[in-house]
């Protein structure tokens, strides 16, 4: 009989009691909608913006994203506010048709599995539209708390949003796993002392303790086993 699990536990005992999920890009593909909304705005303004550049904006708040797209172009504050409002109205137009069918493969199965195991579940999303997306996805009843774009001042890559989520769960960062698809999110989680699971290419989330391409077929045991 193999003694591997016992040995692994002695070597590095990890007690995980909470999972904090980013939202856009993990549980649903709203990253594509953010891109389309920014692209529409950029086209209207005659500013070049590519899908590749959009990768840099994953997890980055609205105003900082706009500043990146403007690439040093200077506008008065009322024009900046107008552009952010326009992008948000396009984004809200795109998310209004989201349903439970838009949960990414493996997401619901993992959430159900975690809940059945008594693990607390939180959302840590930079988005001010997170609540609406969660409602449309129908996952509200599975969540113990939601930290979003309204919860803290300093957004990712500062650790504040995930620290807010851990406090809501009443858990220390060391007992929580953060699941993220953005390099800014992985950076934030590491800065906060969380365990980290990166979803996506290693070039983007390789700083995480464990990397999966996405949540399809990923079970709680796969994550906890890989963290040991
Ligand atoms: P909003 P996440 C982030 O959500 C998105 O990845 C990022 O593209 C977006 O700019 C940011 O939310 C703010 O979103 O404009 O809706 O407030 O990945 O942290 O779940
Ligand atoms: Mg994300």
Q: Does domain 6-29+102-226 have CATH number 3.40.50.1000?
A: yes
Nearest of 51, 137, 138 to residue 95 by alpha carbon: 137
Q: What is the mean pLDDT of residues 120-139?
A: 97
- Reported as a single tens digit per residue, the pLDDT across 199-215 is 999 999 999 999 999 99
Identify whether 148 is a catalytic site residue: no
- Reported as a single tens digit per residue, the pLDDT across 19-31 is 999 999 889 999 9
Distance of CA 190 to the CA centre of its chain: 14
Testing ligand 1's pocket by substitution, the residue of 32, 38, 40, 62 carrying the most ligand atoms inside 8 A of its CB is 62
d(CA 220, CA 113) in angstroms, rounded, equals: 7
Topology of the domain covering 31-97: DNA polymerase; domain 1 (1.10.150)
**Domain boundaries along the sequence of the chain:** 6-29+102-226, 31-97
Q: Is residue 59 lining ligand 1, measured as CB closer than 6 Å? A: yes
d(CA 66, CA 58) in angstroms, rounded, equals: 12
Q: How far is CA 23 from CA 8, 59, 70, 72, in A?
A: 31, 9, 25, 29
> Count of H helices and E strands in the chain?
11, 6
Please state, as a whole number, how many other Cβ atoms lie within 10 Å of the Cβ of residue 218.
22
Give the model's pLDDT for residue 137: 98
Fold match between 6-29+102-226 and 31-97? no
């506008």: which residue's tokens?
A: 75
- 17 token code pair: 């009691």
Q: Pick the residue with more confidence: 189 or 12?
A: 189
Full-model pTM: 0.90
């Amino acid at each position: 009989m193999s003694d591997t699990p016992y040995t692994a536990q002695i070597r590095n005992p990890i007690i995980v009691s909470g999972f904090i999920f980013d939202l856009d890009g993990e549980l649903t593909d709203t990253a594509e909608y953010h891109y389309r909304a920014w692209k529409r705005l950029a086209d209207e303004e005659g500013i070049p913006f590519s899908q590749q550049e959009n990768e840099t904006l994953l997890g980055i708040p609205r105003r900082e994203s706009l500043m990146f797209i403007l690439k040093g172009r200077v506008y008065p504050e009322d024009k900046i506010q107008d552009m952010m409002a326009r992008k948000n109205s396009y984004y809200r137009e795109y998310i209004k048709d989201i349903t439970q069918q838009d949960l990414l493969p493996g997401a619901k199965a993992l959430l159900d599995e975690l809940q059945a195991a008594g693990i607390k579940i939180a959302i840590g999303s930079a988005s001010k539209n997170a609540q609406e997306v969660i409602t449309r996805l129908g996952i509200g009843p599975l969540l113990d708390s939601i930290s979003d774009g309204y919860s803290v001042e300093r957004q990712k890559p500062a650790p504040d949003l995930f620290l807010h989520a851990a406090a809501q769960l009443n858990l220390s960062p060391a007992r929580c796993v953060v699941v993220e698809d953005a390099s800014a999110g992985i950076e934030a989680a590491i800065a906060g002392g969380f365990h980290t699971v990166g979803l996506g290419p290693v070039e983007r989330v390789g700083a995480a303790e464990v990397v999966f391409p996405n949540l399809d077929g990923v079970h709680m045991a796969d994550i906890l086993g890989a963290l040991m």
